Amino acid sequence: MSEQVHNRLAVVRAERKVSRQTLADALGVHYQTIGYIERGQYNPSLDLALKAAKYFGLPVEALFSLEPFQPLTTEIYGDNGRKQ
């Protein structure tokens, strides 16, 4: 059984205003594949993960990880970003 690959694909895609179809076309996959990856129902191949990272101009580890991602606000601001 393979380990789940966690991802921020949906967050980055929404931030950049890229539709699933547009991303799928750029990566050469079906748009439903993007949805499966975003929901954690399908682990992308290394090739697909690298293509996605290149498309967004990000390091692959900014999009995919074997460990769950911390919320972006925690990563950016740490505990100091919490409102009291």
| pLDDT above 60: residue 82 | no
Q: How many angstroms separate the CA atoms of 77 and 48, rounded?
A: 31
Query: DSSP per residue over 52-69, as a string?
Result: HHHHHTS-HHHHEESSPP
Does residue 47 lie within any of the structural domains?
yes
CATH code, domain carrying 63: 1.10.260.40
Q: What is the pLDDT of residues 8-62, one digit of tens each?
A: 999 999 999 999 999 999 999 999 999 999 999 999 999 999 999 999 999 999 9
Give the confidence band of 69 by pLDDT, cuts at 50, 70, 90: confident
Does residue 56 lie within any of the structural domains?
yes
pLDDT at 84: 46
Specify the number of domains making up the chain.
1
Overall pTM > 0.75:
yes
